[in-house]
Amino acid sequence: MSSNACSLTAPAQPGVARLVQLLPARGVSRTFNYVDHFAFWRVVGWLRKRHLGLSMYALVRRFLPGWTIREGGIELLRPSKIAIERYRFRGTRIPTPWSGIPTS
């Protein structure tokens, strides 16, 4: 993959992975699975288009070791692999803006 393809596989913003973890909505993991599947196969399609003569076996062996898309330390963000942290009710343990410490 070229350096231009590396920029496509990097997350759009550095905080994307943390934002993905904090989303509380139901059904989010299914949506992330869909986005992961779509992005992965879109990049594989770009590779197949760029290397027309290669079979899928050769393409996977050369460019997708372990079925991961990475280049020079940059890896495609896989939303389905990120654990989703659901909202937990904290009641009175939520810190108030007027005190620096949580109330108990």
From first to last of its 104 residues, what are the pLDDT tens digits of the chain? 444 444 444 545 555 555 555 555 556 777 888 888 999 999 999 999 999 999 999 999 998 888 888 888 888 888 888 777 766 777 777 777 776 665 55
CA separation for the pair 32, 37 (Å, rounded)? 8
User: Does residue 31 lie within any of the structural domains?
Assistant: yes
DSSP structure class, residue 47: H
User: Does residue 92 lie within any of the structural domains?
Assistant: no
Q: In this predicted structure, what is the pLDDT of residue 49?
A: 95
Q: What is the dihedral of CA 47, 71, 42, 52, to 10 degrees?
A: 0
Cα–Cα distances in angstroms (integers) from residue 77 to residues 15, 45, 74, 99, in the given order: 12, 17, 9, 38
User: Does residue 26 lie within any of the structural domains?
Assistant: yes
User: Does residue 93 lie within any of the structural domains?
Assistant: no
User: Does residue 76 lie within any of the structural domains?
Assistant: yes
User: Does residue 99 lie within any of the structural domains?
Assistant: no
How many domains does the chain fold into?
Answer: 1
User: Does residue 28 lie within any of the structural domains?
Assistant: yes
Q: In this predicted structure, what is the pLDDT of residue 57?
A: 94
Entry pTM: 0.57
Domain of residue 61 covers 3-87
User: Does residue 12 lie within any of the structural domains?
Assistant: yes
Cα–Cα distances in angstroms (integers) from residue 81 to residues 4, 12, 65, 68, in the given order: 25, 17, 17, 12
